[in-house]
Structure 1
Amino acid sequence: MSQRNSRRSTARTAAVAGAVLGAILLAGCTSPVPTPTVDDSSASAEPALTVEQMAEVREAVGATLEAANANSDPSQLATRLTGPALSLRTSQLGVAAARGNGDLVTVLPTAVQQDIITTTDSWPRQAYAVTEQPEDLQSPRLLGYEQSTARDPYKLWAWVRLFPSVKLPSFAGSAVGSESVPLDDPSLLMTPTDAVAQYADVLNLGAGSGFAASFADDPLRAWVATNAETQAAPLATAAGTQTMTFTPTPDEARAVRTADGGAMVMAAMTALETRTAEEGAKITPGTETEKALFGATPPTNVLNVGYTTMVAMYIPPADATTGVQVLGMENIVTSVATS
């Protein structure tokens, strides 16, 4: 085998290695089941939904997801999905249909351990739910719902897979409700907007970020670091490099008050991973998802892999002595191109 062919093969191996590693790390996010706790202390405002209404929302969203999955028809999703959840689920259904593999679609259980209902009297309104553990023993999901206006139904806005062994903060009970938190709330250790931006910087720069000390290590950070190492070594034999950049999605963050005066935040980000090799090398997609999204495009020495990323984090009150805790994430490839 010539040196050039060897380098081409190495570049392809790099793409596969990173994809397999990501799958292994995500598969490790399974158990034990996180334990939500409930605080039934009094609140001044009424919850926006009753417990029964919240159950109806979850059932309606679940029925829409089931119908779309059964028919491989993403056009049905918009009636009950919105925001990053709609974008991600649409992509997943397309990939699953192209590959003939329904396992590529994230399982979102309808049975829940806990509902978190906000007390806001304006719109948009949010509600959240912590699911039971899926039948495949992956980790429970945290689901975020939103009602844009008084005339709109609640729709699934985002979801994350909770990290193993994570302990969720306490919230007011469903009959009491939890306050929606503005993204510039000064009563927290940092504002939700700043927390998301700083976490993206930590994902991009690792220990070199000026904000690294504010966030404990977590599975997403570990995957980003290990994936970079795994990709870089083989690509280097073809004079190649790998970079990955996370960017918060504008206007795609929501926050709710915790019982201790802190906040739980759900937010969307995009990520772009660029794999580059020397002129004449060919980098091909590594995973089933990447192959489906890449299609019949001729490979080149550049492969751009785009991700839709959703994260959840807990921000303690301003006087806390602990940092921000990332609770879970979903990080899935949604685009693959040569430019």
Structure 2
Amino acid sequence: MLRPDVSSAARRRGAGCLAAVGVVSVLLAGCTVEPPTPAPDAPAIAAVVSEPQERKILDAVATSIAKHDNVSAADGLRARMTGPALSMREAELRLAEDTGEERWRTDLSMQTQQTVLPSDQSWPRTSYAVQAQPADTHTPALMVFDQASAREQYKLWGYVNLVPGASLPPFAQPELGSAAVAPDDDTSLVRSPQDALAEYAEVLSEDSDAKGTGAFADDRLRQDLRAIEKSQTGVADWAETKGKYSFTAEVEPSLGLRAVRTADGGALVLGGLTGTQTIEVGQKGAKINTDALPSAQQVLFGDEAETNRLRTRYHDFVALYVPSAGSAHKITLVGFRHIPIDVSGE
């Protein structure tokens, strides 16, 4: 009855870099969103991390991840991973091992085409890196690194795969650095970072019926979720089983969010959500055919008894471009990861 999930990692359709005076941007081919025009009077501030220092950080994190990149050694990831990145990697390693499908394991090689370095003097400090095109068919990863205090190491805090056809906004040149944006900044942006993330969760949950849908451009994740719903509810006997389908998303407060100023006065916002897919058949005696589940859901469901109601939870980590206040641009999804972490019958 049920068909495989649509993979969030799409074939990359091309990559390129655009440069302008004082800004750097990354563009994936097929882009339908024009990159914002850089502000001519961006403040001249200095990065607190140099490009050579960032390179050493990337190499150290990459070495640690490669050393602990299997389930039996996953505890060692904590030395250089934290937050949503750690949760996602642990889930990816379990799925790759249990399903035998390497597609679940994000390529986290750290040869880069762009870095965004912090200018804030205080801690925590956050830097960003856009991966060079990986060897597989995934689009490049956008990675977020955190240093919690002066005495702690930088750790990989989060990552997404860039959406094919989406573009990152321009940032200040690395030597100038880019400032962090407060989660509740609702004066310089069309939405504060925390409100943008919360409204996007509503959009994923309700799609076109959500209050904030008009503020968001349509995107690949929403298209994937619609395709998954259609694959479940479009089967011939769905009506006869009195089937019900839903997907909801909620902000995961414990994960926090990160936001950085773009050269046009907007912000790049990254944060974690918890997604829940529920499938139910109401016909008396009807059960969900678990043998027809996608491989990831099968291994997560395990040997539980057949059920008429199935709940799948996901880690959803997203990167949003939020325009500056007064802009006519919509909030745009530029990257995401959608990872199943638990399946249960109810």
- TM-score scaled by length of structure 1: 0.89
Counterpart residue type for residue 77 of structure 1: L
Whether 1:107 and 2:96 are equivalent positions in the alignment is no
C-alpha RMSD of the superposition: 1.9
Offset at residue 241 of structure 1 (A): 0.9
CA–CA separation in structure 2 for the residues paired with 1:96 and 1:111: 23
Q: Which residue does 2:285 correspond to in 1?
A: 280
Q: Which residue does 1:6 correspond to in 2?
A: none
CA–CA separation in structure 1 for the residues paired with 2:190 and 2:16: 24
CA–CA separation in structure 1 for the residues paired with 2:340 and 2:239: 23
Offset at residue 71 of structure 1 (A): 6.7
Q: Which residue does 1:335 correspond to in 2?
A: 342
CA–CA separation in structure 2 for the residues paired with 1:287 and 1:335: 13
Q: Which residue does 1:239 correspond to in 2?
A: 242
Unaligned regions of 5+ residues in structure 2, if any?
A: 24-41
CA–CA separation in structure 2 for the residues paired with 1:36 and 1:65: 30
Alignment CA distance shift 1:35-1:217 (3 Å): farther
- TM-score scaled by length of structure 2: 0.87
**CA offsets per residue over residues 230-270 of structure 1, 9 Å max, x none?**
21233433222111101111152110000111111111111
Moved more, 170-179 or 227-236: 227-236
Alignment CA distance shift 1:287-1:206 (3 Å): same
Q: Which residue does 2:14 correspond to in 1?
A: 32
Counterpart residue type for residue 315 of structure 2: T
Counterpart residue type for residue 282 of structure 1: K
Q: Which residue does 2:126 correspond to in 1?
A: 126
Alignment CA distance shift 1:227-1:159 (3 Å): same
2:158 alignment partner, SS class: strand
Equivalent residues in 2 for 1:39-188, closer than 5 Å: 40=22, 43-69=43-69, 72-185=72-185, 186-188=187-189
More helix by share: 1
Offset at residue 137 of structure 1 (A): 2.9
1:220 alignment partner, SS class: helix
Counterpart residue type for residue 156 of structure 1: L
1:266 alignment partner, SS class: strand
1:221 alignment partner, SS class: helix
**CA offsets per residue over residues 83-140 of structure 1, 9 Å max, x none?**
1110111111122222344342111221111000111122211110011111113211
Tell whether the 8 Å contact from 1:29 to 1:163 is kept in structure 2 after alignment: no
Q: Which residue does 1:201 correspond to in 2?
A: 202
CA–CA separation in structure 2 for the residues paired with 1:74 and 1:85: 12
Alignment CA distance shift 1:38-1:111 (3 Å): farther
**CA offsets per residue over residues 212-232 of structure 1, 9 Å max, x none?**
111111111111222222212
Tell whether the 8 Å contact from 2:9 to 2:139 is kept in structure 1 after alignment: no
Unaligned regions of 5+ residues in structure 1, if any?
A: 1-12
CA–CA separation in structure 2 for the residues paired with 1:34 and 1:125: 28
Alignment CA distance shift 1:124-1:140 (3 Å): same
CA–CA separation in structure 1 for the residues paired with 2:182 and 2:61: 26
1:296 alignment partner, SS class: coil
Q: Which residue does 1:10 correspond to in 2?
A: none
CA–CA separation in structure 1 for the residues paired with 2:132 and 2:178: 21
Moved more, 96-105 or 250-259: 96-105
Q: Which residue does 1:3 correspond to in 2?
A: none
Whether 1:312 and 2:314 are equivalent positions in the alignment is no
Alignment CA distance shift 1:30-1:52 (3 Å): same
Counterpart residue type for residue 276 of structure 1: E
Q: Which residue does 1:269 correspond to in 2?
A: 273
Offset at residue 36 of structure 1 (A): 5.7
Tell whether the 8 Å contact from 2:71 to 2:90 is kept in structure 1 after alignment: no
Q: Which residue does 1:228 correspond to in 2?
A: 229
Q: Which residue does 1:297 correspond to in 2?
A: 304
CA–CA separation in structure 1 for the residues paired with 2:343 and 2:18: 37
CA–CA separation in structure 1 for the residues paired with 2:324 and 2:110: 32
Counterpart residue type for residue 287 of structure 2: K
CA–CA separation in structure 1 for the residues paired with 2:296 and 2:241: 25
Report the number of matched residues. Answer: 321
